[in-house]
Amino acid sequence: MKKLLLPLLLLLVLPGTAQAQLPSELFGIVLGEPVEKYRSLLNMETDARDRDALYVNEVDLKSDLLPGIRGGSISYGNCANPGVVVGVKLKLDDPAQSTFNALYTRYEKAFGKPDEYQGDAFRTVIAWKWRFRKDNMEVQVVLTWSKDPEMRPGTSIKLRQRTLWEAEYFCQQQQRGKSGSTDAGTPLAPQDLDRFLPKTP
C-alpha cells in the first residue's frame, strides 16, 4: 500500500503540468470547487465553523473511503465565497518517519526546496511549507511529521488556497465592522492575569 500511496498523493497534488506552479488538488479534492461536490466523502455531522478561523467551516472526511488516510478535513468559505473549498488536510495512516522522508523527497523533486521551515528546533515536529503564486493567486502546501502524541503522530499534508482563505477573513472583518463588533477583546488588568496561572487545588 505504501508504494502505491506515495505516488498517488504526489500526483493528486499536481493535477497537471500546466498547473505545476499552482497545485490545487489533493486526493481528488480541488480547491475552489463547491464543497457539495464532495458530499459523499464527508461526514456532514461534523460540519462547523473553525474555532480558530470563524470565517471558514471545517468538515471531516470519511477516512474509510480514502485508502491510506487516517483522517482529514475540508475547509470551505462561509462569507466571501460560501461553500467554496479553500483548504484540505490529510493525515496518513502510516506513522513512520520513513514515509514522511520518502514523501518529502518526492515533494522536493516536484516543487524544489521548500520556502519555509515551520517545525520546532528539536524536530519533535518537522514541517515544511511551499508557496506557489500565479496571477495574484497563492496556494500553500505544508508537509508535516510529528512524534508529539498530542498532535497524532505521523505525516500530515495541508493544501490551502491562501488567496481565497484571506478573502473569507476580510469579508468577516468587513461584516463585523458594519455590525460594530471587534476582535480586540477585553483588555486584562495585570492583577487579572493570576486567574490564568495553574494552581494547586
- Residues of the chain with pLDDT > 70: what percent? 83
Average pLDDT over the chain, rounded to an integer: 85
Q: DSSP secondary structure string, 135-149? A: TTEEEEEEEEEE--G
pLDDT-derived band at 179, boundaries 50, 70, 90 = low
pTM score, whole prediction? 0.81
Q: Name the grid cell of 148.
A: 508529539
> In this structure, are strands 116-117 and 154-161 parallel, antiparallel, or unpaired?
unpaired
**pLDDT confidence band for 160 (50 / 70 / 90):** very high
pLDDT of residue 67: 84
Q: Which band of pLDDT confidence, cut at 50, 70 and 90, is reported for residue 59?
A: very high
pLDDT tops 50 at residue 20: no
Q: Supply the pLDDT for residue 186.
A: 67
In the predicted structure, residue 184 carries a pLDDT above the cut 60: no
What are the extents of the domains in the chain? 2-176
